[in-house]
Chains A and B, each alone.
Chain A
Amino acid sequence: MHKGKPITFGVSGRLWKDALVMYDRETGSLWSHVTGGAIDGPLKGQSLKPYPASHTTWERWKRLHPETVVLSKQTAVGVEGRQNVYQDYFDDPGRLGIFGTRNPDNVLPGKEFILGLTLGNTRIAYPYRDLSRQPLVQDEVSAEPILVAFSAKEATAVAFSRTVGGRTLQFSNLREVGGDLVMEDRQTGSTWQALTGRAIKGKLAGGQLRQLRRQGPSGLPGKASIRRLASGALRGDHAARFALTSLDFWLEWASALRP
């Protein structure tokens, strides 16, 4: 909000750390898409608040939210967005950004998909390659009990707090049932929809886990701890310096930002 009205954004045509820089039409300040912070102009230093968003496939979203509305693809000159015009870029593991940015280390490939979270002062990243092997992760980050659920089919990862109604739950038995990814909590045996955090059966039916907002680091450059997972057990943290020009790190910050 600015002077009591929501601000609106346009594409500035500039990049910072290989990523979109927005400008607001009210003051002309520049905003980083990945951090949600104003990096220049009268509003420099202010931050947009991230809003939880799910990055998934049309098929999965439609099943999870049958009443969803969809941004119209109709334009004055026809239908847009029928294909991915950047498929070549996506498919090239060697290209990071448009300026020839290099992967700063060998911890992960530059374009590895990750689920990144910022909790308290802790920044943490779960690589999708590890989530593929362990699609239900229960963890404690910055004293917050969390859960990460992963669907390999659409490479969709979501994170929730495991504390609901004053109680911390433990989950197990993640599986696909009739096109739905579900899990149970050990405390009551209730069944939960893993990608929405909604309890659909049992004593806690109707309950909702709080989705954690994927959020970029606020101070740059920064360190993020990568949780490497191996066969059901968490190996120790591997602190790695993510150069924030690694574009796939930014992928997970594609989120709805609240002005």
Chain B
Amino acid sequence: MKGRNRCLVGVLAVFVVLAVASRSGIGAGPGASGEMVNGAPIITVLPKDAIPAIDDPKFVTTREADQVMSPDEPVLGVTDGSVAKVYSLWQLNHHEIVNDWIGKLPVAVTW
């Protein structure tokens, strides 16, 4: 990995939107718009589903993936001992959630 690969918990698409909003004088600062839960506000920054979660994900083989993945690309991998699935974090930047299954187990892969 080059240096430290900084990974962010799935809010970065929001960052661009907010930057634009701030420039035009519309800001959403902490506490600006939300109810409090455990001492911290829930803040609305985007409409629901502005960032589209993935449902019914499709998978490819390592050979196919090699054409579109970099060796140092950060990924999130899961395995139950028989099935191994991996999700690119650069790709999850744009979706944040994948509704998927590991074998018979329903999982949400979140970033």
Contact = CB atoms under 8 A, between A and B. Distances in A.
Interface of A: 1, 6, 8-23, 30, 33-34, 39-40, 48, 51-59, 61-62, 64-74, 79-87, 89-91, 97-99, 101, 111, 113, 128, 153-155, 208, 219-221, 244-245, 247-248, 250-251, 253-259
Chain B interface residue number, banded: 35 or more
Contacts of A71: 54, 57-59, 85-88, 91, 98
A251 B85 CA distance: 20
A54 to B, nearest CB: 5
A3 to B, nearest CB: 14
Contact of A97 (B11, B93, B105): B11
A9 B8 contact: no
A153 B4 CA distance: 10
A161 to B, nearest CB: 15
A86 B75 contact: no
Given A16-B42, A59-B71, A71-B91, A53 B76 contact: yes
B6 A89 contact: yes
B77 A53 contact: yes
B69 A11 contact: no
Contacts of A59: 71-72
Interface in B46-69: 46-55, 57-62, 64-65, 68-69
A57 B14 CA distance: 25
B68 A13 contact: no
Nearest to B41: A16
B86 A70 contact: yes
A8 B45 contact: no
A221 B60 CA distance: 41
A115 B52 CA distance: 28
Point out which of A65, A74, A244, A259 has the most chain B C-beta atoms below 10 A from its C-beta. A65
A66 B98 contact: no
A202 to B, nearest CB: 20
Contacts of A128: 4
B86 A65 contact: yes
B93 to A, nearest CB: 6
Nearest to A198: B81
Contacts of B70: 58
A22 to B, nearest CB: 6
Given A9-B97, A9-B108, A69-B59, A58 B8 contact: no
Nearest to A52: B78
A74 B15 CA distance: 25
Contact of A65 (B29, B57, B69, B84): B84
Point out which of B7, B85, B91 has the most chain A C-beta atoms below 10 A from its C-beta. B7
Contacts of A67: 84
Contacts of B95: 11
Nearest to B46: A13
Given A57-B1, A58-B73, A16 B86 contact: no
Contacts of A86: 6, 8, 12, 15, 93
Contact of A58 (B39, B46, B88): B88
Contact of A13 (B3, B47, B75): B47
A48 B111 CA distance: 15
A188 B64 CA distance: 40
A40 B35 contact: yes
Interface string B92-107: 1111111100100111
B90 A84 contact: yes
